[in-house]
Amino acid sequence: MLSDVFSVTELRPGQEEVIANIIAGRDTLAVMPTGAGKSLCYQLPALYLDGVTVVVSPLISLMKDQAGKLDSVGVESTQMNSTFSQGDQTEAMRSIAESRSEIVFATPERLTDPDFLEVLERNKIDLFVIDEAHCISQWGHDFRPAFLALANAIQALGKPPILALTATATPAVTEDIPKQLGLPNMQIINTGIFRPNLHYRVTHVTNEDEKLRNALNIVNGANGAGIVYAATIKAVDQVYAALQDAGVSVARYHGRLSAKDRRLNQEAFMNGDRRVMVATNAFGMGIDKLDIRFIVHYHIPARLEAYYQESGRAGRDGEPAVCTLLYDLKDKAIQQFFLVNRYPTVDEITEVHGLLRKIADDDNPVSFEAIRRTPGPVASTKRQVSLKLLKDAGIVAQDHDHRYRMLREDITRQEIAKLADAYREKSEQDREMLKRMIFYAQTGFCRWKVLLEYFGEKPSWSRCGLCDNCRRPPVRAAPISRRRKSAHRILAAADRGAFKSGERVKVPKYGEGRVISVVAEKVTIAFPDSQTRTFLKSYVEPCNASFPSDGERR
């Protein structure tokens, strides 16, 4: 079956163990890197088991991609897709009711619909799969409250075996997922995140012109397809225009484009009609393009999970790929702005509740687009988060067409304050995660080691030999007699004018570190304890030790 249906002759690390667990009926959380073949871990058991496999996916585009691939190999699947016509949705429900499909794809929001659950219950559900499972955890970078309702859906479907899949789970997320699902005995299979074909780089820039010039140089100097991620729509449009002017085959993707334009641009990139995609982070989850050779981050992401997930879309064919972050210290202000504006206040939640009370009722549910367009002081993002909070609290409801209606018109300020408090701890965590992301950008230590340790892994080596910090040539100092060492250090610092970014240096009482930046007579250094400190040049001296050769690990 493995070779006949999926044209696969050998399972990858972790796949066999996960599949064996599923066949044996054991609840499993699989943490596997992008490109490790997570989809096969449920597709193969789905054909082996007698009943139906339900796959919960956070994105419609992800469902369509997976369903299309199954159809190409002759595996029957059904997706409940809100973009379908009413006739197509009716046909999909009929197909599920008659057990015609071996795999059913649905969004987590769809699993809250009693009518849909009732139809699913007519089937023998042998496997319940949760893709992008980090969305379940409030500590996950793509947390979606709708995922929290999955525990109830699992109960309603007779508690079938569960397979949760993710590529980006910190220890906190890995611990939280079984708790949210009510599965304390869930087995965890973690194959690690290390992918030796990904070569990480950080280029420090000081202004927008320098950054754009670097982006153009990377794109023009790279072979094959690539993605340039930017944090704002304005930046996407600017980079897109600059690449177009330079004659690059380029497309763009962001939320202000029409759904049709986004679809056409995505298809052009996926089929090779466009070599480069410039996009916000709205593009990418579930994108299965094997030959992406480079990823450029035009702005620093908010956290390392997002950076790893986005950069991990490169090199899915196992061939080398380069992932570059263009780092301007000023860019952290963009993410700080997003963090400040991500979570609503008590007054803003109250405002959204009042707005919904005016425009929606049982006979007239409204879409989020209608709520977004209604005049009011609350920003669109906060309106969306407020609606999620109100829905989770049973104050508003969302039907299968994703339209909202009021359940409770009268709520107290104390109730709303309790909802707002639920995000206070997450907001503090977000700020800490941004600090970790900035440390990654500024550090002189092995970038793969920083990523691995963030995700709770302890590599046996200290240098990967692949990233820019490991490949940068050493800076050697001439032998100095102990008697004249201090004087020489002062003269050397003056003659040199500036330490180089990434240079290994040492400071009395603090030991060795890496240079982050040099401003006038001051040197800022990152130390192994994740702290950064600033010293006068005369207090800093270069290290004599050299780097290992490329590929050497310790």
Give the tens place of pLDDT for each residue, 50-84: 899 999 988 777 787 788 788 877 788 898 877 77
Please indicate, yes or no, whether residues 282 and 351 belong to a single structural domain of this protein: no
Please indicate, yes or no, whether residues 243 and 261 belong to a single structural domain of this protein: yes
Query: What is the distance between the alpha carbons of residues 163 and 29, in angstroms, rounded to a whole number?
Result: 6
Query: What is the distance between the alpha carbons of residues 446 and 502, in angstroms, rounded to a whole number?
Result: 11
Helix boundaries (H) for 73-149: 86-97, 114-120
Q: Would you state the pLDDT for residue 497?
A: 44
Q: What is the domain-level CATH number for residue 477? A: 2.30.30.30
Domain range for 529: 473-542
The pTM of the whole model exceeds 0.85: no
Q: Would you state the pLDDT for residue 476?
A: 43
Task: Classify residue 36: in a domain, yes or no.
Answer: yes
Single out the residue in 155, 190, 225 at which a domain terminates.
190
Report residue 481's pLDDT band, with 50, 70 and 90 as the boundaries. Answer: very low
Structural domain tally of the chain? Answer: 4
Single out the residue in 141, 167, 190 at which a domain terminates.
190
Query: What is the distance between the alpha carbons of residues 433 and 302, in angstroms, rounded to a whole number?
Result: 7
Please indicate, yes or no, whether residues 207 and 156 belong to a single structural domain of this protein: no
Average pLDDT for 37-43: 88
Give yes or no for residue 417 having a pLDDT over 60: yes
Q: Would you state the pLDDT for residue 211?
A: 95
Please indicate, yes or no, whether residues 173 and 212 belong to a single structural domain of this protein: no
Q: Decide: 383 and 392 in contact? Cβ < 8 Å.
A: no
Task: Classify residue 553: in a domain, yes or no.
Answer: no
Please indicate, yes or no, whether residues 373 and 332 belong to a single structural domain of this protein: no
Average pLDDT for 206-233: 95
Q: Would you state the pLDDT for residue 489?
A: 45
Task: Classify residue 226: in a domain, yes or no.
Answer: yes
Query: What is the distance between the alpha carbons of residues 509 and 274, in angstroms, rounded to a whole number?
Result: 54
Task: Classify residue 8: in a domain, yes or no.
Answer: yes
Q: Which of 8-12, 123-127, 147-151, 497-501 has the lowest mean pLDDT?
A: 497-501
Q: Would you state the pLDDT for residue 501?
A: 73
Please indicate, yes or no, whether residues 50 and 145 belong to a single structural domain of this protein: yes
Task: Classify residue 225: in a domain, yes or no.
Answer: yes
Q: Would you state the pLDDT for residue 246?
A: 95
Give yes or no for residue 1 having a pLDDT over 70: no
Mean pLDDT of the chain: 83
Q: Would you state the pLDDT for residue 146?
A: 73
Q: Would you state the pLDDT for residue 554?
A: 37
Please indicate, yes or no, whether residues 275 and 351 belong to a single structural domain of this protein: no
Q: Would you state the pLDDT for residue 148?
A: 76
State pLDDT tens for residues 326-348: 999 888 888 877 776 667 888 98
Give yes or no for residue 490 having a pLDDT over 60: no
State pLDDT tens for residues 316-329: 888 999 999 999 98
Query: What is the distance between the alpha carbons of residues 459 and 150, in angstroms, rounded to a whole number?
Result: 35
Buried b (16+ CB within 10 A) or exposed e, 509-540: ebeebbbbbbeeeebbbbbeeeebeebebeeb
Please indicate, yes or no, whether residues 181 and 44 belong to a single structural domain of this protein: yes
Please indicate, yes or no, whether residues 311 and 394 belong to a single structural domain of this protein: no
CB contact set of 131 (below 8 Å; sequence gap of 6+): 38, 55, 56, 57, 58, 62, 165
Task: Classify residue 445: in a domain, yes or no.
Answer: yes
Single out the residue in 172, 190, 208 at which a domain terminates.
190
Task: Classify residue 10: in a domain, yes or no.
Answer: yes
Q: What is the domain-level CATH number for residue 397? A: 1.10.10.10
Please indicate, yes or no, whether residues 203 and 186 belong to a single structural domain of this protein: no
- What count of Cα atoms within 13 Å lies in the side-chain half-sphere of residue 513? 27
Query: What is the distance between the alpha carbons of residues 153 and 108, in angstroms, rounded to a whole number?
Result: 9
Task: Classify residue 373: in a domain, yes or no.
Answer: yes
Please indicate, yes or no, whether residues 450 and 479 belong to a single structural domain of this protein: no
Please indicate, yes or no, whether residues 490 and 417 belong to a single structural domain of this protein: no
Q: What is the domain-level CATH number for residue 450? A: 3.40.50.300
